[in-house]
């Protein structure tokens, strides 16, 4: 399930951010969608940790995968990568995951990012401008001009797609923190577009308030948390079971689902190539839908109430409640 990736280049972006480009040790890289992320296993001195980093490359570009990492005070993963990432280093990775992806490259989008939150947003932006007809407006917040990641690339995209792409830079050094009230005014010209936002928690919360004030219903946010468990670890076993029927990639798998084991572990134990990443209910890479029966989520930091009402659950957190459960991966 995991991939062995070799670093082929490390590119400084700002004083505290680097882009890291990977190629497979063997074989070919699997496909991915703009806005997705990699989960890397990092051999830190204090012990291995798993961390998720968004891909700043876009699928149509071909070539190496690229993630962009910004150093975070006290961040074990980001500091280790910024200090140790070098050409030739091999790291273990899970396949690309996440649902921070637009429905279509033809759709007009309002993109908002702060700091390193530009990483998945840039991937989406490049894909829409290269492959589709959609128009994009980007609001990008940073401390000052020196901390703007991808400044040159964004300027080049603006020049190349002046009729389809608008970027508004927000610099805290001159404008202060972006408040919900000021973001509401800034977002108003594009209030009929779906919103994609990534950045620090206070920034995303402020965007959410502004979107609510403008009546924007479609807001997709990307949130990462430090993982306490190891998603690369071996799976455990369990006893008492429910009868499960799970459809994935057009194939239906029927098996005994131990009541104390989450669905993802039950699938992986049977050799089913089910999607996942964080395994902590925080990223939605493993989302699936209950068609019949009932499950309980041990944790949920990403699905909204309307998602749950429609039957969507997280395979990494779902345990069976009823004696029979039917699930599909849409």
Whether the pLDDT of residue 274 is over 60: the answer is yes
Q: At what angle do helices 180-187 and 201-214 cross, to 10 degrees?
A: 60
pLDDT-above-70 percentage for the chain:
95
Least confident of 217-226, 239-248, 261-270: 217-226
The predicted model gives 15-37 an average pLDDT of 94
pLDDT band with cut points at 50, 70 and 90 for residue 236? very low
Q: What is the pLDDT of residue 326?
A: 96
C-alpha 67/C-alpha 65 separation (Å) is 7
Whether the pLDDT of residue 171 is over 60: the answer is yes
Q: What is the pLDDT of residue 260?
A: 87
The predicted model gives 20-48 an average pLDDT of 92
Q: For the stretch 220-245, what's the b/e string if a residue is b when 16 or more beta carbons lie within 10 angstroms of its beta carbon?
A: bbbbbeebeeebbeeeeebeebbebb
Q: What is the pLDDT of residue 130?
A: 96
Higher pLDDT, 271 or 117: 117
The predicted model gives 125-134 an average pLDDT of 95
pTM score:
0.77
Higher pLDDT, 45 or 309: 309
Pairing of strands 219-222, 195-198: parallel
Q: What is the pLDDT of residue 168?
A: 97
The predicted model gives 2-11 an average pLDDT of 95
C-alpha 103/C-alpha 105 separation (Å) is 7
The predicted model gives 131-138 an average pLDDT of 95
pLDDT tens across 286-303, in order? 999 999 999 999 999 889
Residue ranges of domains in the chain, CATH in brackets: 3-97 (2.40.30.10), 109-222 (3.40.50.80), 241-328 (3.10.20.30)
pLDDT tens across 57-108, in order? 999 999 899 999 999 988 899 999 999 999 999 999 988 888 789 988 999 9
Residue 197 CA, chain-centre distance (Å), reads 11
Higher pLDDT, 317 or 237: 317
Higher pLDDT, 230 or 257: 257
pLDDT band with cut points at 50, 70 and 90 for residue 1? low
Q: What is the pLDDT of residue 237?
A: 43
Q: What is the pLDDT of residue 231?
A: 74
Q: What is the pLDDT of residue 229?
A: 65
pLDDT band with cut points at 50, 70 and 90 for residue 233? low
């Amino acid at each position: 399930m995991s991939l062995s990736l070799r670093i082929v280049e490390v590119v400084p972006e700002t004083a505290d951010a680097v882009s890291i480009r990977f190629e497979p040790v063997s074989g070919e890289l699997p496909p991915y969608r703009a806005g997705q992320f990699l989960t890397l296993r990092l051999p830190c001195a204090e012990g291995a940790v798993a961390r998720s980093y968004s891909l700043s490359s876009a699928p149509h570009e071909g070539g190496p995968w690229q993630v962009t990492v910004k150093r975070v005070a006290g961040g074990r993963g980001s500091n280790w990568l910024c200090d140790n990432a070098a050409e030739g280093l091999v790291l273990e990775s899970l396949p690309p995951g996440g649902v921070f992806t637009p429905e279509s490259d033809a759709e007009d989008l309002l993109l908002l990012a702060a700091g390193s939150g530009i990483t998945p947003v840039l991937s989406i932006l490049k894909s829409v401008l290269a492959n589709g007809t959609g128009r994009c407006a980007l609001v990008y917040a940073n401390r000052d001009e020196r901390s703007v990641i991808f400044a040159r690339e964004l300027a080049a995209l603006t020049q190349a797609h002046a009729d389809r792409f608008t970027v508004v830079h927000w610099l805290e050094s001159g404008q202060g923190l972006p408040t919900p009230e000021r973001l509401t005014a800034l977002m108003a010209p594009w209030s009929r577009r779906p919103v994609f936002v990534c950045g620090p928690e206070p920034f995303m919360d402020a965007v959410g308030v502004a979107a609510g004030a403008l009546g924007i219903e479609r807001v997709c946010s990307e949130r990462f948390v430090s993982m306490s468990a190891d998603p690369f670890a071996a799976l455990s076993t369990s006893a008492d079971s429910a009868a499960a029927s799970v459809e994935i990639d057009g194939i239906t798998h029927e098996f005994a689902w131990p009541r104390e084991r989450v669905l993802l572990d039950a699938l992986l134990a049977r050799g089913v190539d089910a999607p996942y990443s964080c395994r902590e209910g925080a990223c939605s890479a493993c989302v699936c839908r209950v068609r019949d029966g009932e499950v309980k989520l041990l944790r949920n930091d990403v699905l909204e109430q309307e998602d749950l009402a429609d039957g969507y659950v997280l395979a990494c957190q779902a345990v069976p409640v009823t004696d029979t459960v039917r699930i599909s991966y849409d």
